[in-house]
Amino acid sequence: MSGAPVPDSADADLAPQRVAGKDRRRPPPRLPPLNLFRTFECAARHGSFRTAAAELCVTPSAVSQQIRQLEDYLGVWLFRRLTRRVELTRDGMRLATSVREAIAMLSAACENVIAADAPTMICVNAASALASRWLVSRLKDFMEAHHNIRVMLQAASDEVDFRRQDVDIAIRWGSCGWNGAVAERLIDDVISPVCSPDFRDRNRLTDPARLHGLTQLHTVGIGNTWSDWLAAAGVNGIAFRDVLYFSDASLMLEAAAQGQGICLATTLLVQDDLRSGRLVRPFRTELAPAEGYHLLVDARHGERPAVAAFRAWIREEARQTLVGEPRHRH
């Protein structure tokens, strides 16, 4: 192949596109060096070897040499060498289109690999008591099992609005009524009375009938299920002397641990205190409440893989909590 430019009229004729005396159109046994395609794409995009050289941080002669190598390999002219610029031949145009598509596919593939390895952040907005007394101590296990997921934990008990809040998953106590959310019960938990060991011993809580005249601890906004629990325990005529109200279950349980009264609590909230002995369950009777903790996600969007992973993990954690929870302690 000579270095002379191919005349315009020759581009319409296939014969001058081949090296004299040799048909090089048959598929080559292997690809030429891939860096030649990078140089070719850059030169084709700019229509100039000199500009391509500046972008690639090489000399114009290096660009020209690499283009010539690609042309020799393919057996066709890819550029017409004009006085101050270069132009793609028809073969060059066809190759440029394919090379651009190939580079775009490689770029997209690289972005997908990078995105797969990049940490994903999810925002979990959990009921305050559950977040502080159960979830926060277990998040490390989730992070260790999912190295590419980062969790922002928010503690709140008000109604969640996925349209206005940047929240991926919420956890709330209740039974229904979450507008715009897909709700799934976290676990079928149970409730039973809990108190401090000292409160149990001082009031000789060997039988639910001895609750009469004691102080009840209660969280505002949570349905009063004492009547249901007392009925399940087969006890009638119980009247508490006082009721202390709290805005959050964590405060209620702290008051119970300090011996100020007795309250109903779910297993998830009291697991750590039962194991440490700060709280005890003086009676065997347990009640399955109508309400419970629910996982909420935005109904308008499909579930992200990271959110799905968190939901699966937290359901299993809740199950393990109930399986391993110490029951009645007297």
Residue pLDDT, tens place only, 205-224 = 999 999 999 999 999 877 66
Q: Which amino acid is at 201?
A: D
Q: Count other Cβ atoms within 10 Å, centred on residue 330.
A: 10
Residue 14 pLDDT > 70, yes or no? Answer: no
Kindly give, in sequence order, each residue whose CB lies less than 8 Å from that of residue 326, ignoring residues fewer than 6 positions away: 274, 275
Instruction: State the residue for tokens 């959310």.
Output: 181
Tens of pLDDT, residues 36-72: 999 999 999 999 999 999 999 999 999 999 999 999 9
C-alpha–C-alpha distance, residues 238 and 155, integer Å: 35
CA distances to 11, 26, 106, 123 from 79, rounded to whole Å, are 10, 20, 25, 54
Averaged pLDDT, 76-104:
93
Residue 330 pLDDT > 80, yes or no? Answer: no
Instruction: Report DSSP state, residue 265.
Output: E
CA distances to 5, 71, 109, 117, 319 from 76, rounded to whole Å, are 12, 5, 30, 42, 69
Averaged pLDDT, 157-173:
86
Give the alpha-carbon dihedral of 79, 80, 82, 85, to 10 degrees: -20
Counting residues of the chain whose pLDDT is more than 70, the rounded percentage is 87
Q: How confident is the model at residue 20 (pLDDT cuts 50, 70, 90)?
A: very low
Instruction: For the chain, list the domains and their CATH numbers.
Output: 8-116 (1.10.10.10), 120-187+292-324 (3.40.190.10), 191-276 (3.40.190.10)
Structure tokens at 182: 């897909």
Instruction: Considering only residues 282 and 18, tell me which one the structure prediction assigns the higher pLDDT.
Output: 282
